[in-house]
Amino acid sequence: MLLMSAESAVTRTAPSFHNPGHLRIWNESPLREFDPHILMIILGLILIAWIYYYYMFVVKKARLQEQLYIDSEEGKFQQLLTKKAMLLNKIVELEESLASGNIDKEEFDQKITAYKKHLVQVKLDLKKFTE
């Protein structure tokens, strides 16, 4: 069994943490006046700030545009529903006008045809949203 003496354990040094070549390059650089550890912390904070900026502004802007697109599609859908209800009300009013004698049959036929044509188009547009 090999025993180590107390003197050899005390005088033994640990391997250096930094490469001597890196230390020499640092000491020859214009940044030699700065503490390299603090400089690395600052560079790390800049990197974190850039990632934060990217997330907060670029990704958030993309999400906002997507939400605006969804809202605009919802607005178009609501507008089509309103048109449908309005056209149905106009058709009912037109039938009531014909029954009360306020308009003649020819005018009724022209208007009802136009309303129904427009109603068919609105229903087709609504169907695009639901499929």
7 pLDDT above the threshold of 90:
no
Domain map (residue ranges) of the chain: 21-130
**Alpha-carbon gap, residue 62 to 59, rounded angstroms:** 5
- pLDDT tens digits for 106-123? 988 999 999 999 999 999
Q: Which residue has the higher pLDDT, 70 or 82?
A: 82
User: What's the predicted TM-score (pTM) here?
Assistant: 0.48
86 pLDDT above the threshold of 50:
yes
Question: For tokens 């600052």, what's the residue?
Answer: 42
**Alpha-carbon gap, residue 26 to 44, rounded angstroms:** 18
